[in-house]
Amino acid sequence: MTFPIEKFNTLRTPFYYYDTALLDKTLEAIKQELRPNHHVHYAMKACTNPKVLRHIVDAGFGADCVSGGEIQACLDAGFPADKIVFAGVGKSDWEIELALKAGIFCFNVESVPELDIINELAGQQHQTARVAFRINPNVSAHTHTNITTGRAENKFGISMEDMVDIVLRTREMSNVECIGLHFHIGSQILDMEDFVTLSLRINELQEMLESYGIVLPNINVGGGLGIDYEAPDLHPIPEFKKYFDTFRQYLRLRPKQQLHFELGRSIVAQCGTLVSRVLYIKQGAVKKFLIIDAGMTELIRPALYGAYHKVENLTSAEGETTYDVVGPICESSDVFVKDYRIPVSRRGDLIALRSAGAYGEIMASQYNCRTLPASYTNEEL
């Protein structure tokens, strides 16, 4: 990725920079892979920056929300209500009411008590709520433990054993209609075998339902496709073909069944960069620290998950040395990367933290009374 460094030099750091040309290319790459029965609902939790959302709306995608706030953000951004799905283990009444009023496509329901409340609230609004059941397929994705969601011990979804009962139960309810099954096994998944396992598990479940005479019109396989954090310039666009081909090859859809995806990270991660400036170089007792003006408040993934984001000095190419790259926050975990080889850096140099488009800006906090940073796109600079 090339950065408009002269423009960057005039801006207050830290800030988020989004390359919408790369975003558009990424969206186009996905569209190339879509078939008429495929539907992508962008996972809003990855990034709700309106400048980013505009491109995703223009590409014709729907949205996947997990809160009333996200539903409002996607209505404001112009996503059509009938392409919105709403997941989450703890939907509040006002959030369900907002979704009903908006007329969303589908609630991804995670428990029987939740189903009862949706039925009741839909009744009050004289509506029928479309629901899909989020089934916990007990598949372990090979990713960070904090971001796997499809194992039996996770809080998400309804167990496979309860699936038939709950589907049959909706038939007796007057204000809900069951239109599908929903799955999501985790995030930052790079091993397609995990999606093979998911597909085979869905095939089994569909057969089980069929033995009760049930065929549902929609299958939603969630999100989770990972990106290359190590080499963002080598792989700016994830391997969408491999991902979609996996489902096409292994998932047995019934005639007219629609296939839904909830991609988040793979759409927006690589187009976003957190841009920061070097404040100080500090020689500690055993380590040399590169202290920058962005911290875990602007990009919490390294502190929270031990995640790696490539760090680049945009203004120096002079030799190489080893630093711990750290932020200014009063927390020992405010470290981006340890023992990192990077050109010799000076106060004022611009530092890029790459692949920050997903779960970067959206997870920012004001801890230490910091202000939330600005964002810019290549179109503006």
Provide the minimum distance between the beta carbon of 68 and ligand LLP in the complex, in angstroms, as a whole number.
Answer: 16
Binding mask 14-53 for ligand LLP (x = CB under 6 A): -----------------------------x-xx-------
Provide the minimum distance between the beta carbon of 26 and ligand LLP in the complex, in angstroms, as a whole number.
Answer: 13
- Identify which of residues 276 and 355 has a Cβ nearer to ligand LLP in the complex: 355
| By the rule CB under 6 A, 184 interacts with ligand LLP | yes
| By the rule CB under 6 A, 238 interacts with ligand LLP | no
| By the rule CB under 6 A, 197 interacts with ligand LLP | no
To which H or E segment does residue 202 belong? Answer: helix 192-210
Closest CA to 96 of 130, 61, 49: 130
| By the rule CB under 6 A, 236 interacts with ligand LLP | no
Closest CA to 237 of 275, 269, 261: 269
Could you count the other beta carbons within 10 Å of the beta carbon of residue 183?
27
- Identify which of residues 191 and 207 has a Cβ nearer to ligand LLP in the complex: 191
Provide the minimum distance between the beta carbon of 319 and ligand LLP in the complex, in angstroms, as a whole number.
Answer: 33
Residue 76, judged by CB atoms within 10 A of its CB (0-12, 13-18, 19+), counts as exposed
What's the angle, vertex CA 47, arms to CA 41 and CA 51, rounded to 5?
95
Phi–psi pair at 271, nearest 5 degrees: -80, -10
Provide the minimum distance between the beta carbon of 33 and ligand LLP in the complex, in angstroms, as a whole number.
Answer: 15
Select the span of 20-28, 120-128, 256-264, 323-331 touching ligand LLP (CB under 6 A). Answer: 256-264
Select the span of 11-19, 75-83, 167-175, 180-188 touching ligand LLP (CB under 6 A). Answer: 180-188
Select the span of 19-27, 89-97, 221-229, 342-350 touching ligand LLP (CB under 6 A). Answer: 221-229
Provide the minimum distance between the beta carbon of 264 and ligand LLP in the complex, in angstroms, as a whole number.
Answer: 3
| By the rule CB under 6 A, 301 interacts with ligand LLP | yes
To which H or E segment does residue 4 belong? Answer: none
| By the rule CB under 6 A, 224 interacts with ligand LLP | yes
| By the rule CB under 6 A, 188 interacts with ligand LLP | yes
Separation CA 233–CA 326 (nearest Å) = 23
- Identify which of residues 295 and 350 has a Cβ nearer to ligand LLP in the complex: 295
DSSP state letters, 252-288: -PPTT-EEEE---HHHHTTTEEEEEEEEEEEE-SS-E
Select the span of 6-14, 94-102, 217-225, 247-255 touching ligand LLP (CB under 6 A). Answer: 217-225
| By the rule CB under 6 A, 232 interacts with ligand LLP | no
CB 265 within 8 A of CB 334: no
Q: Which of 263, 303, 352, 353 binds ligand LLP (CB under 6 A)?
A: 263
| By the rule CB under 6 A, 264 interacts with ligand LLP | yes
Coil, strand or helix at 36:
coil
- Identify which of residues 44 and 290 has a Cβ nearer to ligand LLP in the complex: 44
CB 99 within 8 A of CB 112: no
Q: Which of 187, 313, 375, 377 binds ligand LLP (CB under 6 A)?
A: 187
Coil, strand or helix at 154:
coil
CB 190 within 8 A of CB 240: no
Name the pairing type of β-strands 15-18 and 84-86.
unpaired
Provide the minimum distance between the beta carbon of 203 and ligand LLP in the complex, in angstroms, as a whole number.
Answer: 20
Could you count the other beta carbons within 10 Å of the beta carbon of residue 35?
8
Amino acid identity at 336: F
CB 278 within 8 A of CB 322: no
Q: What is the binding site for ligand LLP (CB under 6 A)?
A: 43, 45-46, 64, 87, 147, 149, 184, 187-188, 222-225, 262-266, 301, 305, 358-359
